């Protein structure tokens, strides 16, 4: 110890192996590992020490870069989250905006502005100028920004649910309230209903979550039912239907059922002339004895209307005719082709009767039996057939609206038409059951039939025309229709 202490105090020269302790085998974090030579003089670095020094400096540089990237990730995540929350709060303050397409309330907005892309310019703290001079570092920053953008939607949904779940719970509590709500609670219910509708639209458009969307959809539906109430049919609705809706629907479809009536009657007349002028055709229908049994005085054509009690016969005729009209209305959706077949069958039966009775020289008797009830009955069938063909044409050409909207309107009109025509056919059934087989003169029976037909036409053209000019469509009331988005003409 004495020589070493003496050398250090006197500053004679550099320490040597004789005066110094051998170095320990340790690796400091802040400088390379140096070995001390056995020669007297300054310490020197070996090749191994050089490689170790380079590796240490590289590790230190990589650690610094990783720390910087981690900081940039945190800064960018905080920046995007704060911006999203700010925009959401700002937009939720103005809820009376555009009409939505996915909610039941006419309020909606967007959760955030147009989402930024990975190539957008960021403020200085997120992209320092050194990134512009270092392409590799800029690429790393862009990757980090892209990953943060992919996570932004999830972060927004969590923040949004946390911010508004209390309002949803309060709305559900008000909906479950058994006692009658006070005025303030009703106002709160309406406000929460509008807010929740907006929230549902926001979530569906930005970050759809199945469970959350299902819950809010059910909540909004129940709130809408509570706020708007359930509409009940009244006598006023029935009066409006028979004074405006039904006649307007028949009037609007006149361009379909009037041509159908004219063509059908012409077909029946042609078939009757063909059968009456060709005995071979008559023989193909039935045997001569059977034909004489049908067409003779007091034969089957005359006794058909009195073969059953008037009441049961009228009910049977009404049921058959209503079924034929309903088939025309329903089967019209199949492009109207089944409707044409139903019309042909009816006209074929009428034509056969005209042909056989005219060949027997008793056409006047046949017309006296068929006209009292047949005028109104066949008109109702023609109206049903025209409406069915119109419905079938809507499938082919819906016009400026969507096919779904056009078919919905025509279908609702067809349902209303079925109800109205059932009443018309009920009147014709009463005439057929009680007037046609009665002992009234032929001219009196025909007069009653013509009067019933004229009353129906006046009903359609006067009341229906007036309602159509006033804007009636023959559909349900506007409040009961589903909302439609505007379409280009």
Across residues 169-193, what is the average pLDDT?
A: 85
pLDDT for 438: 86
Phi, psi (deg, nearest 5) at residue 221: -65, -45
Which one, of 86, 107, 85, lies nearest residue 196 by Cα?
107
- Give the pLDDT confidence of 417-469 residue by residue, as tens digits: 888 999 999 999 999 999 988 888 989 999 999 999 999 999 999 999 999 89
The size of the chain, in residues, is: 489
Give the per-residue pLDDT at 397.
86
Distance CA 141, CA 136 (A): 9
Strands (E) across 198-350 are located at none
Which residues are CB-contacts of 480 (< 8 A; sequence separation ≥ 6)? 231
Please indicate, yes or no, whether the overall pTM of this predicted structure exceeds 0.85: no
Secondary element (H or E) of residue 289: helix 288-295
CA-CA distance, 379 to 386, in Å (whole number)? 10
3-class SS shares of the chain: helix, strand, coil, % to 5: 70, 0, 30
The pLDDT of residue 377 is above 90: yes
pLDDT exceeds cutoff 80 at 34: no
Q: List the structure tokens of 376.
A: 């109104």
Instruction: Write phi, then psi, for 95 (nearest 5 degrees).
Output: -90, -15
424 CB-contact burial (10 Å; exposed 0-12 / middle 13-18 / buried 19+): buried
Q: What CA–CA distance (Å, rounded) separates 11 from 24?
A: 24
Dig out the tokens for 205 from the structure. 């458009």
pLDDT score, position 145: 57
Reference 325, options 255, 238, 428, 399; nearest CA is 428
pLDDT in tens, 297-347: 888 888 888 877 888 888 888 888 888 888 888 888 888 889 999 999 999
- The whole-angstrom separation of Cα 307 and Cα 346 is 21
Q: What is the mean pLDDT of residues 201-222?
A: 84
67-126: pLDDT as tens digits: 555 555 555 555 555 555 555 555 444 433 333 333 343 333 334 444 444 444 444 444
314 vs 435: CA distance, rounded Å: 10
What are φ and ψ of residue 471, in 5° steps? 105, 5
| C-alpha span between 385 and 391 (Å, rounded) | 10
Of the candidates 196, 186, 168, the residue with the CA atom closest to the CA atom of residue 226: 186
């Amino acid at each position: 110890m004495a020589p070493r202490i003496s050398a250090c105090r006197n500053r004679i020269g550099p320490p040597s192996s004789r005066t110094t302790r051998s170095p320990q085998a340790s690796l400091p974090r802040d400088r390379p590992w140096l070995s001390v030579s056995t020669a007297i003089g300054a310490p020197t670095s070996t090749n191994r020490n050089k490689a170790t020094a380079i590796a240490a400096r590289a590790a230190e540089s990589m650690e610094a870069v990783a720390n910087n990237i981690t900081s940039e990730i945190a800064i960018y995540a905080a920046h995007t989250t704060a911006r999203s929350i700010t925009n959401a709060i700002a937009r939720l303050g103005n809820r009376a905006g555009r009409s939505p397409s996915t909610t039941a309330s006419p309020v909606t907005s967007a959760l955030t502005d147009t989402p930024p892309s990975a190539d957008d310019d960021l403020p200085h703290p997120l992209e320092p100028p050194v990134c512009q001079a270092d392409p590799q570092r800029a690429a790393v920053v862009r990757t980090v920004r892209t990953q943060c953008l992919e996570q932004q939607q999830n972060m927004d949904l969590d923040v949004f649910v946390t911010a508004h779940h209390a309002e949803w719970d309060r709305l559900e509590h008000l909906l479950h309230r058994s006692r009658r709500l006070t005025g303030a609670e009703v106002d709160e219910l309406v406000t929460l209903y509008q807010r929740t509708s907006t929230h549902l639209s926001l979530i569906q458009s930005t970050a759809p979550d199945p469970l959350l969307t299902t819950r809010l959809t059910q909540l909004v539906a129940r709130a809408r039912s509570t706020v708007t109430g359930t509409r009940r049919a009244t006598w006023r609705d029935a009066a409006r239907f028979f004074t405006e809706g039904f006649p307007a629907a028949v009037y609007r479809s006149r361009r379909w059922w009037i041509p159908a009536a004219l063509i059908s009657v012409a077909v029946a007349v042609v078939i009757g002339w063909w059968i009456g002028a060709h005995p071979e055709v008559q023989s193909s229908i039935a045997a001569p004895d059977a034909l004489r049994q049908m067409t003779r005085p007091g034969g089957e054509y005359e006794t058909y209307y009195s073969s059953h009690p008037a009441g049961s016969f009228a009910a049977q005729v009404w049921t058959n005719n209503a079924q034929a009209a309903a088939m025309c209305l329903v089967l019209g959706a199949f492009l109207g082709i089944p409707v044409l077949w139903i019309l042909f069958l009816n006209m074929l039966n009428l034509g056969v009767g005209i042909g056989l009775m005219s060949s027997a020289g008793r056409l006047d008797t046949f017309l006296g039996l068929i006209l009292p009830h047949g005028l109104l009955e066949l008109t109702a069938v023609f109206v049903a057939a025209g409406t069915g063909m119109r419905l079938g044409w809507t499938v082919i050409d819906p016009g400026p609206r969507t096919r779904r909207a056009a078919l919905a309107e025509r279908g609702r009109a067809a349902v209303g038409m079925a109800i109205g025509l059932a009443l018309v056919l009920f009147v014709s059934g009463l005439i057929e059951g009680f007037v046609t087989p009665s002992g009234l003169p032929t001219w009196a029976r025909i007069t009653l039939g013509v009067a019933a037909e004229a009353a129906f036409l006046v009903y359609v053209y006067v009341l229906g025309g007036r309602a159509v000019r006033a804007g009636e469509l023959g559909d349900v009331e506007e409040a009961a229709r589903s909302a439609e988005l505007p379409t280009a003409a």
